[in-house]
């Protein structure tokens, strides 16, 4: 369980997050949406402590962290072990093969044997249909392949929660579909995921829960059915604008 209580994050006079109270249950896929600048990515990155809120409490399982106090290196590493992050544009070690990238953290952080880490990496690459890329280098992969490897690499650390920040926004529709199929499979396998995305079709089919953020506040917390089929006036405007943008594209 991840639980945020009374979370504030402020930049000068602007609240990126304002009194956020939310609990993320295990084995659920939560999709976070909202207009640009609403605080979606700030909320997601706060769960990994890449963004450090100014105040509030963060509970993971039975450990509560007071975010108004300085954070120790041990706390940061512990939180990041629990929450694997996948970025919009993942970074790989260019001098390592895909397999080298996959096993780097499991061997050096989790202290797995190279044989154990390699076996697990092959299984994860096969799950995203990329086991044939193990001996290639990052520059030899397409954007969609790189993103799928990034998902597999994050899973290699066995995080309790997988956090994904606009994982397909930099991809063309065909490559986006490849990544979304992987995420949809993970959702149906009950992998705990929290995803910021612009893809409403994916959200409708993969999410167990939807959050709608605006001006740093959660304005909706409910099921995809409620979000899409019985939206508030504000959410309806958001969805209609999104449909217009899709038609224009």
Secondary structure element (H or E) that encloses residue 174, with its range: helix 173-188
230/232 Cα distance (integer angstroms): 7
Give the fold, CATH level 3, of 2-248: Rossmann fold (3.40.50)
Locate the domains of the chain by residue range.
Answer: 2-248
Q: Which residue has the higher pLDDT, 206 or 246?
A: 206
51/177 Cα distance (integer angstroms): 29
- pLDDT at position 42 is 97
- pLDDT at position 244 is 57
Which parts of the chain are beta strand (E)?
2-11, 14-24, 29-33, 55-60, 63-66, 83-86, 161-165, 193-196, 209-214, 217-222
The average pLDDT across 93-121 equals: 97
Percent of residues, the chain, with pLDDT higher than 70: 98
The average pLDDT across 173-201 equals: 93
Place of tokens 């799928």: 148
In this predicted structure, the answer to whether residue 246 has a pLDDT above a threshold of 70 is no
The average pLDDT across 184-203 equals: 94
Please give the model's pTM, rounded to 2 decimal places.
Answer: 0.93
Instruction: Assess contact for 194 and 60: CB atoms under 8 A.
Output: no
In this predicted structure, the answer to whether residue 220 has a pLDDT above a threshold of 80 is yes
The average pLDDT across 171-193 equals: 92
Q: Which residue has the higher pLDDT, 248 or 71?
A: 71
């Amino acid at each position: 369980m991840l639980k945020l209580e009374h979370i504030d994050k402020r930049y000068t006079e602007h609240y990126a997050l304002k009194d956020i109270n939310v609990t993320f249950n295990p084995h659920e896929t939560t999709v976070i949406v909202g207009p640009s600048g609403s605080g979606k990515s700030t909320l997601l990155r706060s769960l990994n402590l890449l963004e450090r809120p100014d105040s509030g409490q963060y509970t993971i399982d039975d450990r509560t962290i007071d975010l108004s106090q300085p954070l120790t290196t041990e706390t940061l590493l512990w939180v990041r072990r629990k929450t694997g992050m996948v970025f919009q544009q993942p970074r790989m070690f260019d001098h390592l093969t895909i397999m080298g990238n996959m096993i780097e953290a499991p061997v050096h952080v989790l202290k797995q044997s190279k044989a154990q880490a390699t076996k697990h990496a092959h299984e994860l690459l096969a799950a995203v249909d990329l086991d044939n890329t193990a001996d290639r280098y990052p520059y030899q992969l397409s954007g969609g392949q790189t993103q799928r490897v990034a998902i597999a690499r994050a899973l290699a650390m066995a995080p309790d929660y997988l956090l994904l920040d606009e994982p397909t926004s930099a991809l063309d529709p065909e490559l986006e579909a490849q990544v979304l199929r992987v995420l949809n499979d993970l959702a149906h396998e009950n992998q705990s995921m929290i995803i910021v995305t612009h893809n409403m079709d994916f959200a409708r089919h993969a999410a167990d829960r939807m959050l709608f953020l605006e001006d740093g506040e959660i304005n909706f917390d409910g099921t995809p059915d409620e979000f899409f089929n019985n939206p508030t006036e504000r959410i309806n405007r958001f969805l209609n604008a999104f449909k217009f943008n899709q038609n224009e594209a």
